Structure 1
């Protein structure tokens, strides 16, 4: 490339030559920038979802390539968010692709200093046993005046903001069915 060509290729001169005086059009794009493609263009498919972080329920377009999430963006068809996501929603791709994501069940026994790995079945059985024992031990049929209570004050639930609406709905139904009355979600606190 000659010095003249390099000089005429300067963005300011391109802006003047092409009438792009504010520098917002193609005059400011480099050859390298024009050669790039977005991750959304290379995706095999787009899945529609709802952001899992809070109770707002912003719509998401999840771009998948080779069965791996490559990008998450706001869904412009969503009547709730109209294509916008907060910083947490925009970063939700990290929920599944983070190298630090915990993918096994870990358990630390009382007074132990180390975590041990459990199978999902073993952990589920342990949790179920503890819930049933606590419910049995703390169940209240009625109060002092004989009024029906049918509840347990020994079990409570605090849901997390990374659960979606459907998961929180099922958790609410489960804990209500168990007789718990102390049911809350982090997104409302």
Structure 2
């Protein structure tokens, strides 16, 4: 490439001598940038999701290739975020692809000093058994005057700000169906 070719390939030269005076179009594009393709172009499918970080509920587009997440972007069809994501939402790909992500359940038995790995089915069965046991042990069918209560004092629910409205609604329904009366959210505490 000669000196003249180099000068003509310089964006400022193209901006001053061409039709793109503001440098927002062809003047700003290099040969290399013209050959680039977005990493989302190779995705097999796009899955709609919601950002998990706060209760705003910004919609996301999750790009998947070979059953692996390759990119997460804001969804422009969302009336909440209109395609924008905050820095945490923009970095949410790390939650599913980061090397620090745990892919198994760690359990430490009561009085044990070491953690042990459990498969997810075993861990979920343990949680279900403990919830049902706490519900049963704390169950109150009637009060001292014989009035019907049908509640448990063995369970309580505490929602968090990282849950969106739909998730908080489902948590409330679950704990109400279980008979719990202490159902709160960290926003009120």
TM-score range, shorter chain: 0.7 to 0.9
The reply on whether 1:105 has 2:105 as its aligned counterpart is yes
Matches within 5 A, 1:73-112: 73-112=73-112
Aligned to 1:59: 59
Maintained 8 Å contact 1:52/1:161: no
CA distance in 1, matches of 2:18, 2:64: 38
Matched, 1:174 2:174: yes
SS at match of 1:40: helix
Shift in Å, 1:123: 1.7
Q: Is the 1:55–1:187 Cα contact (8 Å) retained in structure 2?
A: no
For 1:117 and 1:133, the matched residues in 2 are separated by 23
Whole-angstrom CA distance in 2 between matches of 1:179 and 1:165: 21
Which stretch has the larger CA shift, 139-148 or 1-10?
Answer: 139-148
1:15-164 matched pairs, under 5 angstroms: 15-143=15-143, 147-159=147-159
CA contact (8 A) 1:51 1:60 kept: yes
Shift of 1:107: 0.1
Q: Distance in 2 between matches of 1:107 and 1:17?
A: 68
- Provide the TM-score with structure 2 as the length reference: 0.82
Q: Which residue of 2 aligns with 1:3?
A: 3
Q: Using CA pairs below 8 Å that are at least 6 residues apart, which structure has the higher relative contact order?
A: 1
Asked if structure 1 preserves the Cα contact closer than 8 Å seen for 2:9 and 2:30, the reply is no
CA contact (8 A) 2:135 2:152 kept: yes
Deviation at 1:5? 1.6
Rate the CA distance shift 1:91–1:186 in 2: closer, same or farther, 3 A. farther
Residue pair 2:161, 2:186 contacting (<8 A) in 1 also? yes
- Cα distance in 1 for partners of 2:43, 2:186 equals 34
Could you tell me how far 1:44 is from its partner in structure 2? 1.9
8 Å Cα contact 2:55/2:163 also seen in 1: no
Paired with 1:55 and 1:129, the residues of 2 have a C-alpha distance of 30
CA distance in 2, matches of 1:101, 1:15: 47
Deviation at 1:187, TM superposition (A): 7.2
What residue number does 2:14 align with? 14
CA distance in 2, matches of 1:188, 1:80: 23
